[in-house]
Structure 1
Amino acid sequence: MSDHEHRSIWGHLTQLAFKQDWIDAGGIRTRYVQAGPSDAPVLIMLHGTGSSWECFCATLQSHSAHFNCLAIDLVGSGFSDKPDTPYEIPYYVEHLRAFMDAMGVQKASMMGVSLGSWISGRFVVTYPERVEKLVLLASSGLIVNKETMGRTIGVRSKAVDDPTWEHIKPVFNSILFEERDRIPDLIQLRQTIYMQPEMKRAMDNILVLQREEVRLRNNLSEDDWRSVQQPLLIILAPDDNPDYLVTGRRIAELAPNARTCEISGVKHWAHYEKPEVFDPVSLGFLLEDR
């Protein structure tokens, strides 16, 4: 067997010094992992819909050599608290702000995947003084596609209603390009998350953003993106759902300090599927001018 066939979450973390813990962030018990020097510049990593910090397992070692990396489980996701309230983008933004305050972080760069990119965008518009740079993968929060939203609702609801292996595995079909990257580690972890008693209710609250009227009021406007002065690196994945490619390209046209990098053969998780391509680009961008 090739090494790729033995890939695992833990395999990416074996030589990494890191700490997993929980912290009270504005009343929300928040799970996070910290890696890298505590006195280094902070890089906060934000996962996508219904995911967890482990989506950054292949990225932490390279980036923690230069940054104090904080990868969190967003409110309602992973093993963080799941209050019974709709999780709209401002709610996530305030959770992120409370997490930063609790950790004593005044300013950070952010790496966001899908929902995480959407939250990062709204955060920089709301709290520009607290953001240094942004890395966006599967850029979201600008357009509405009923077909994509309906598919997301269907797959995620089925997975959480009956979290069998057969129902969890399809969650990764829209996230990972290669079948070989949809490893048992990821499926088992997501299964464990979705089997939590409170997860079904939490998923209903997560999926409110897949309703047209809710998404429209949460999207960033083109003027919002024009106002972002911070440097942006936008990863474009031509083999992903076109929604994210269109969104990423449009943000790059609007934001005055944006640049793009196209990575083929990946979907949402370029940082996981092709870290050998993503890491040098991401680190080159984040370390520029330091």
Structure 2
Amino acid sequence: MPSAPRTIWNELAGLDFQVTTVDAGGVPTRSLQAGEGEPLIFLHGTSGHLEAFMRNVQAHAKQYAVHAIDMLGHGFTGKPNFGYEIPRYRDHLLAYLDAQGIERAHIAGESLGGWVGARAAIDVPDRIASLQLLCAGGTVANPEVMERIRTSTRKAVETDDIELTRARMRLLMHDSADATEELVAVRHEIYHRPDFVANIDNLLSLQDMETRIRNILRPEDMAQITVPTLIVWGRNNPFGEIPEASAMHDNISGSELVLFDDCGHWPQHEKAAEYNDLSLGFLAKHAIAR
């Protein structure tokens, strides 16, 4: 008998959780919260949303207070009208921590979320207990990759054709089956909300070369990261090659690097079981000091 399809509801079945809106410095911020313990914040990538971590919440909520959020200008979070550069994302993250009364948190950031987490670890290390960089962006400015992100996202947002959203989601995954129809439907709904469409230039501002260079994390920046750091990378990542991950590892003293085979840009989703075990082992080694 074939197994039941993996759905968001199945991933959360039996778990006490809430999806709520938090006022983070005046920005209404969608947040899924579950579990108790040390706080762990999941941060998604460019044009993403908290559903990127649905295969991870249950496992982590057994030991941690999990917060998966829609970042500034993304998903169902507020969309103020300015270009979204990394300091803005950092400040929104810190405002969220303040609103939730969180002094220090573990950060697990995928793609853009890793970029934001790294910036926070550099600027306010006292607020970050540990850092996970999951196919993190921000250390290179590759015009071809930037154009791929900009073009595929804009087409999917500006044209009401779900096949374009499906193609955008499949671009992230090594196995297209991981871009489930449920995820495609959620993203298509988000992409075609009027506020999201109106905000697309702000959201894609980091794909502009001048803006990206202004925000890029250079080796000397990464060398300032002193919090425990785990780097996770897919060997088939379409948005960054393995040397990027290796350079992060070289530049962050004491960091760990793990490469997943047959994996694209969403290691936490594509290799959920392996990632969850890896993450929980890493977090256990770096408990917040009392």
**Same fold by TM (over 0.5)?**
yes
Deviation for aligned residue 1:202: 1.7
The answer to whether the 8 A contact 2:238-2:264 is kept is yes
Match of 1:288 in 2: 285
Match of 1:14 in 2: 13
Deviation for aligned residue 1:164: 1.9
The answer to whether the 8 A contact 1:138-1:244 is kept is no
Match of 1:203 in 2: 200
Aligned residue for 1:198, secondary structure, equals helix
Match of 1:3 in 2: 3
Deviations 1:108-146 (A, max 9, x none): 010000000000011111111100111111121111100
Q: Aligned partners of 1:171, 1:3: CA distance in 2, in Å?
A: 27
Q: Name structure 2 gaps, 5 residues minimum.
A: none
From 20, 38, 44, the equivalent of 1:41 is 38
* In the alignment, structure 1 residue 218 sits paired with structure 2 residue 215: yes
Question: Which range moved further: 266-275 or 116-125?
Answer: 266-275
Q: Which amino acid aligns with 2:149?
A: T
Deviation for aligned residue 1:247: 2.1
From 135, 160, 164, the equivalent of 2:132 is 135
| Number of corresponding residues | 287
Give the alignment of 1:160-171 within 5 angstroms.
Answer: 160-171=157-168
The answer to whether the 8 A contact 2:162-2:188 is kept is yes
Q: Aligned partners of 2:141, 2:286: CA distance in 1, in Å?
A: 36
TM score, norm. by length of structure 1: 0.96
Q: Aligned partners of 1:131, 1:262: CA distance in 2, in Å?
A: 24
Deviations 1:7-62 (A, max 9, x none): 2121111122111100111110000011111xx11101000011111110000010
Q: Aligned partners of 1:215, 1:244: CA distance in 2, in Å?
A: 18
Match of 1:254 in 2: 251
CA pair 245-163 structure 1, distance change in 2 beyond 3 A:
farther
Deviations 1:224-256 (A, max 9, x none): 111111111101211112625222211100111
Deviations 1:143-188 (A, max 9, x none): 1100000111110000110132111101112211112111110000
Q: Which amino acid aligns with 2:12?
A: L
Match of 1:65 in 2: 62
RMSD: 1.2
Q: Aligned partners of 1:211, 1:269: CA distance in 2, in Å?
A: 23
Give the alignment of 1:20-169 within 5 angstroms.
Answer: 20-37=19-36, 40-169=37-166
Q: Name structure 1 gaps, 5 residues minimum.
A: none
The answer to whether the 8 A contact 1:169-1:187 is kept is yes
Aligned residue for 2:20, secondary structure, equals strand
Moved over 4 A (4+): none
TM score, norm. by length of structure 2: 0.96
